[in-house]
A and B are shown apart, each in its own frame.
Chain A
Amino acid sequence: MNRFVTLIAMAFGLVFPGAAGAQTAKDLVGTWNQVSNVNIRQDGSRADIFVPGSKGVIIFESNGHYANVTLNAILPKFASGNRNTGTPEENKAVVQGSLAHYGTYTVADKVITLKVEGSTWPAWTGTDQTRTIISFTGDEIKWSLAASIGGTTEVGWKRVK
């Protein structure tokens, strides 16, 4: 029985070599660019949110603070040239195509907990948001979360050097 369990563990190690690591907040410190963003809906279908032109960054600081800005779209410029006088369509494109939040973070048991101090998605402000680490290789990380648009989302990041 013990041998069987060992074989299973070895098999998982071979299949998911990236699953190790990222045990402490120190592993995350730095600047990361978003490279993928896939939403998995309740019916199991997958939608690639990271369309061409998407950009995202998350910065984890050694003092426990983080900031994240994500734009999952190429947003049309405001015709008025004034961000306070966007048309309803221009404003809608911004709100639906972007998300920014900041606060502090901790890492435990392969789960990153973001204590959100402020967010452009107001429902997150003042809440804890968790990210489950799926894989980590030092310079690449992928995590999953309950998506603000429904279902779950898997987001991939690459360390900026």
Chain B
Amino acid sequence: MDVAFSNLGSIAYFGTYTVDEPSKTLLFKIESSTYPNQLGTEAKRVISSLTADELKYTNTTPLGAGSSITTAFKRAK
């Protein structure tokens, strides 16, 4: 049960990224992920707001977790 809870509470992935400015989308090329189904896939994020220190983007096709997920980030200094 602890194991199941730990998975629900985290996700980590890495790879490379590109930004398409006209469509305001961020494309992750995922090299590896703790969610194995993401491995080797591309993940698109639609940028809904971007200032010098804040970023907000939406995943419109989340993998089995609702219809869309919006995530907000603040630049670490």
Contacts and interface: CB of A to CB of B under 8 A. Distances in A.
Given A83-B65, A91-B4, A94-B7, A78 B31 contact: no
A84 B32 CA distance: 18
Contacts of A91: 3-4, 6-7
Interface residues of B, number: 23
Interface stretch (A10-18, A37-45, A68-76, A126-134): A68-76
A77 interface: yes
26 contacts: A55-B14, A55-B31, A55-B32, A57-B32, A63-B76, A69-B12, A69-B13, A69-B34, A77-B37, A78-B35, A78-B37, A82-B63, A83-B7, A83-B65, A84-B7, A84-B64, A88-B3, A90-B36, A91-B4, A94-B7, A94-B34, A98-B12, A98-B34, A100-B34, A120-B10, A120-B34
A55 B16 CA distance: 14
B47 to A, nearest CB: 20
B8 interface: yes
Nearest to A31: B14
A93 B31 CA distance: 18
A90 B7 CA distance: 10
Most buried by B among A71, A77, A78: A71
Interface string B3-34: 11011101111100000000000000001111
Contacts of A2: none
Contacts of A90: 36
B8 to A, nearest CB: 6
A108 interface: no
Contacts of A75: 34, 36, 39
B74 interface: no
Nearest to B2: A95
